[in-house]
A and B are shown apart, each in its own frame.
Chain A
Amino acid sequence: MNESTLILTLFAAIGLGTPLVFGTVGEIITERAGNLNLGVQGMMLVGAVAGFWATFNTENLLLGVIVAMLAGAALSVVHAFASVTLRVSQIVSGLALTIFGTGLSSFLGETGSEPLVGEPSKATFEPILEGGLADIPILGPLVFGHDIMVYVSWITVAAASFYVFRTRMGLSLRAVGEDPASAESAGVNVARVRYIHIMIGGAFAGLGGAYYSLALVPTWQNEPIGQAGWICIALVILASWRPSRALFAAYLFGAAERIQFTLQTLGEPWSNVPSNLLAMLPFILAIVAMLALTSGKRARFLGAPAALGLPYFREQR
């Protein structure tokens, strides 16, 4: 593998990792509030179809992104209502959301007088910031020449980090995820904090989904995101609930996805590795990473919010 192949692989890994960055940062914010939303896959799919539909009808990418985020957030309200207000098991509610979202996404893609299936997107994200500083060795070609959403994802990560650790709302968020009863007695509205952050998680999941349908595979097909939603949930653990680490965790998985194409270009004997085996790589990586991180004593230092997965009942007599 020569230098340019490596850079090409890493460059592609950043692109493939970008929707995972959005989905993972969103889920980190949701889980920081003590709520586990397993509906990421469903919210991403609905975001993917909603974003594609909006851009298809308006040829406007920004509108597509906004509609995708709104769709993801709207779907997440279902989970918030069930798990926060009605105190249904978060696992059950999240799984239901994924099943529902998957079906809804396929349905919306096939329905109507002009079904979306098979249609190419009327606009896609194009590379920006090409040339100029891109001549810096190694770093230049990696950092420049992505589409705008890659840069948005970097800003998102920095903003999320600042928000969680350096703002008043972020402090309330962490407190609610650790110990809702104490947070409430300090004057924090637990239900409101959970609703807001479940919706933020939903919006970013929707955005991640739209990145598939508007950038990575800009022709509508059923379930264009593969199993990205589930990967995001694993990445939250790999990132140990820190937005900054989500970036690198997502790119690691982007690289695992990309490696099969890279091996094809390298010729014999690399191209002989069965592609099915390579397609499994991200998932094997997910399992290994989770086992390595969550087994034994290490799990305690991971930093999972202490109240994650627990419904909150206000103290009653």
Chain B
Amino acid sequence: MADSTLAVEFRNIDKAFYGVKANDNVNFQLRKGEVHALLGENGAGKSTLCSILAGLYRPDAGEFLFEGTPTVFKTPKDALAAGVGMVYQHFRLVSNLTVAENLALGHPKLGMSISQAELEDDARQLGEEYGLPVDPAARIWQLSVGEQQRVEILKLLYRQAKILILDEPTAVLTPQEAQQLFKTMRQLASEGRSVIFVSHKLHEVKQVSDRVTVLRDGTTVGGADTADAEPRDLARMMVGRDLELPTRDAQHDVGDAMLIVDDVRVAGDRGLEAVRGISFEVRGGEVLGISGVSGNGQRELAYGIVGLRTPTSGTVTVDGEDVTSLSVADKIDRGVAYVPQSRLGMGLAPGLTTEDNLGLKAYRKPPYSKGLMLAASVFKERGQKWIEKYDIRGVRPGLPIRLLSGGNLQKALLAREVELNPKVLIARSPTRGLDVGATEAVRNLVLAERAKGTAVLLISEDLDELLALSDRVLVLYEGQVAGRMPAEEATPERLGLLMAGHKEEAAT
């Protein structure tokens, strides 16, 4: 019965959260020495499946076999001890500690007193062995996102993990870094370890995995050897229907320069300059895509334009008026709309109702308010109109907006910004973490703004999205413009090189 080539087997696994089934009759087999891709949309149950394997959740029903024996991992510690480790999308690293200290943290086999030098030697050796170079004495906050991910993988290898779960690991990497990661994954598999690669990018799944399992709505809908699988079929299995994500039309009239950013410098959180002299302009009806590895000045650039942080030098001009040092409220009045990366918290007030949130930027003026009084009826009436118009689902009267799903939150946020009739729309990673249906809706909203003649600044780490929506692309590297080009000339490879700081190589 027990198949010795199997590392893990899930049989008819069920898992529900408060009555909602996240995993429903899931079957999954992981062999020793393979890279196995888990393909599915957000909410398809990939994370739940991985979390059961990593010891975070326990299944409600079904059988979980670990190397042929029925097993239950009660905590992540149990799973780690058995050799199962996970690299989460949000890294679990202590940012003020060094790389070596992060590897040692919680390690069961270390003695009472620890030697920094020995730890660093171990970390360095391990890094060299697996093509994961990283300075073991560096503190985590000094590292790039790609390097931090390497530390996470090293952490698992340091504990001799036999099964590594990588949850959407390429989302934060440049294309070149992703290629390096794929090499490491293949190396791990060739040593007899198993790698679970969670993704929704078909071309990556096709490139790196041996086998693929597709999940939809909490259930396994199919599996195949990757070599035999057609991307089109996998896509259909994943989404349940044929789907083409909207892209911009090439023929398009653009207006005058609506947003001009001239030699702007903005300070970062740690006092160093994060935006170091950036200039560009965006015309009405044009989408300018800003790409770059996260942490290269994107956030500060957006802050500088919308007024959350006043630039230390340079000018920002909106529709011919210098708005550099105006307050956020004054900039909103002059037609600057902003869709921040964190929807809850910065974008929306989590504890307020959907209707109140929709009125949050216009409440200072009639008809929302008269003098000191708010007009509750206007909030309600407009709110309900927009909820219908923008197809925001799951809204229940009187309940806080944080109960909505990510896609509906994003639709609400965009609805509020778009209804201000902005001249300039700044959107940061607007489809991050959304499923395909919601992505489609959000992309359509952005493109509708472009058609209306709004100047759109799209700041995103998702290259596919940038290339699909932008008229021109600009690459940020360490707070400066590493390159700019029309979208027609941009390829993921070229952008990837620029994102990694290789100016010259990209030019040839």
Contacts and interface: CB of A to CB of B under 8 A. Distances in A.
Contact of B97 (A178, A181, A184, A315): A178
B389 interface: no
A174 B106 contact: no
A181 B95 CA distance: 12
B101 interface: yes
Interface stretch (B108-116, B219-227, B296-304, B334-342): B108-116
Contacts of A188: 105-106
A192 interface: no
B495 to A, nearest CB: 31
A182 B94 contact: yes
A300 B76 CA distance: 33
Contacts of B102: 186
Contacts, number: 69
Contacts of B105: 171-172, 175, 183, 186, 188
Interface stretch (A20-28, A161-169, A250-258, A266-274): A161-169
Interface residues of B, number: 28
A185 interface: yes
Interface in A156-210: 166-169, 171-172, 174-175, 178-179, 181-188
Interface centre among A167, A186, A188 (most CB of B within 10 A): A186
Q: How large is the interface on A (under 10, 10 to 19, 20 to 34, 35 or more residues)?
A: 20 to 34
Contacts of A300: 270-271
Interface string B109-153: 011111000000000000000000000000000000000000000
B161 interface: no
Contacts of A183: 94, 105-106
A174 B102 CA distance: 11
B267 to A, nearest CB: 11
Majority secondary structure of chain B interface residues (helix, strand, loop or mixed) = loop
A187 B77 contact: yes
Given A182-B92, A306-B96, A171 B112 contact: no
Contact of A175 (B88, B97, B112, B113): B97
B325 to A, nearest CB: 21
Nearest to A296: B271
B111 A168 contact: yes
Contacts of A174: 94, 96-97
A168 B107 CA distance: 9
B19 to A, nearest CB: 13
A186 B271 contact: no
B155 interface: yes
B96 A178 contact: yes
Nearest to B155: A186
Given A175-B105, A186-B105, A188-B106, A167 B114 contact: yes
Nearest to A188: B106
B45 to A, nearest CB: 13
A248 B91 CA distance: 38
B466 interface: no
B181 interface: no
A306 B76 CA distance: 24
A15 to B, nearest CB: 33
A185 B94 contact: no
Nearest to B271: A297
Nearest to B76: A185
Contacts of A182: 91-94
B92 A186 contact: yes
A187 B80 contact: yes
5 contacts: A171-B114, A179-B93, A179-B94, A179-B96, A300-B270
Given A182-B92, A186-B92, A300-B271, 10 more contacts: A168-B104, A168-B111, A171-B104, A172-B106, A174-B96, A183-B105, A185-B76, A188-B106, A297-B271, A315-B56
Interface of A: 166-169, 171-172, 174-175, 178-179, 181-188, 297, 300, 306, 315, 317
Interface of B: 17, 56, 76-77, 80, 88, 91-97, 101-102, 104-108, 110-114, 155, 270-271
